[in-house]
Amino acid sequence: MRAFSCGVCGNLLVAENSVCVSCGTAQGFSPAVMRFVPVDVASGMASGSAVQCANLAAAGCNWLVDDGHAGRLCVSCRLTRTRPNDEDAAAVAVWASTESAKRRLVYQLLDLGLPVVPRSDDARGLAFDLLSSARSPVVTGHADGVVTIDLAEGHDAHREAMRVQMGEPYRTMLGHLRHEVGHYYWQVLVRGNGLVGNGLAGGQGPASESPALQRFRHVFGDERSDYRQALRRHYATGPPRGWAAGHVSAYATAHPWEDWAETFAHYLHIRDTLQSAAAYGMVVTGPEEPGPGVDLVALPLEDAAAGDTIGSVVGTWLPLTYALNAVNRSMGKGDLYPFVLTPPVISKLGVVHDLVVGVRV
Q: Is it the case that residue 21 has pLDDT exceeding 80? A: yes
**pTM score, whole prediction:** 0.91
Higher pLDDT, 103 or 282: 103
Q: State phi, psi for 44 to the nearest 5 degrees.
A: 70, 15
Average pLDDT over the chain, rounded to whole? 88
**Burial bucket for residue 306 (CB in 10 Å: 0-12, 13-18, 19+):** exposed
- Residue in 255, 190, 195 with CA at minimum distance from that of residue 222: 255
pLDDT (tens digit, 9 = 90+) per residue, 147-198? 999 998 877 777 777 777 777 777 788 999 999 999 999 999 999 877 875 4
Lowest mean pLDDT among 182-196, 295-309, 311-325: 295-309
Strand partners, 35: 30
191 secondary structure, DSSP code: I
Query: CA-CA distances (angstroms) from residue 357 to 200, 311, 327?
Result: 11, 14, 31
> Rounded to a whole number, what is the distance in angstroms from the first to the last CA of the chain?
22
Instruction: For residue 215, give every residue at least 6 positions away whose Cβ sits within 8 Å of its Cβ, in sequence order, or none.
Output: 351
Question: Please, what's the b/e burial string for 42-55 (b: 16 or more CB within 10 A of its CB; e: otherwise)?
Answer: eebebbeebbbbbb
Query: Which pLDDT score, from 0 to 100, does residue 205 have?
Result: 43
Q: How far apart are CA 42 and CA 64, in angstroms?
A: 15
pLDDT (tens digit, 9 = 90+) per residue, 70-85? 679 999 999 999 999 8
Q: Is it the case that residue 290 has pLDDT exceeding 70? A: no
Q: Which helix (H) or strand (E) holds 305?
A: none
pLDDT (tens digit, 9 = 90+) per residue, 240-281? 999 999 999 999 999 999 999 999 999 999 999 999 999 998
Q: How far apart are CA 21 and CA 24, in angstroms?
A: 6
% of the chain with per-residue pLDDT over 90: 68
Lowest mean pLDDT among 127-136, 251-260, 268-277, 305-314: 305-314
